[in-house]
Amino acid sequence: MSVQEIETAIENLPDKEIHELADWLAELRNQLWDRQIEKDDKAGRLDALIARAKEQNRQGLTRPL
């Protein structure tokens, strides 16, 4: 099934089901993001950002949430 066919099928759904689908897609995107962050963390791609944040915190350049 192509994206075009999926889009057409979605356009034909009742509003309630479109909202349910949108919620499901949002959750799926969140899961994909979480997986990517975990992958990047394991690969060390976040180490420099973490070190920078810790240094800024040590220097008092951060503020409490």
pLDDT tens for the chain, 65 residues long, are: 999 999 999 999 999 999 999 999 999 999 999 999 999 999 999 999 999 999 999 999 999 88
Identify whether 39 is part of a domain.
yes
Identify whether 64 is part of a domain.
no
Identify whether 19 is part of a domain.
yes
Query: Which backbone phi and psi does 37 adopt, to 5 degrees?
Result: -60, -45
| Contact present, 49 and 43 (Cβ < 8 Å) | no
Identify whether 63 is part of a domain.
no
In terms of Cα–Cα distance, which of 18, 16, 19, 23 is closest to 6? 18
| Contact present, 10 and 18 (Cβ < 8 Å) | yes
Identify whether 22 is part of a domain.
yes
For residue 30, give its domain range: 3-58
- The total number of structural domains in the chain stands at 1
The C-alpha atoms of residue 36 and residue 28 are separated, in whole angstroms, by 12
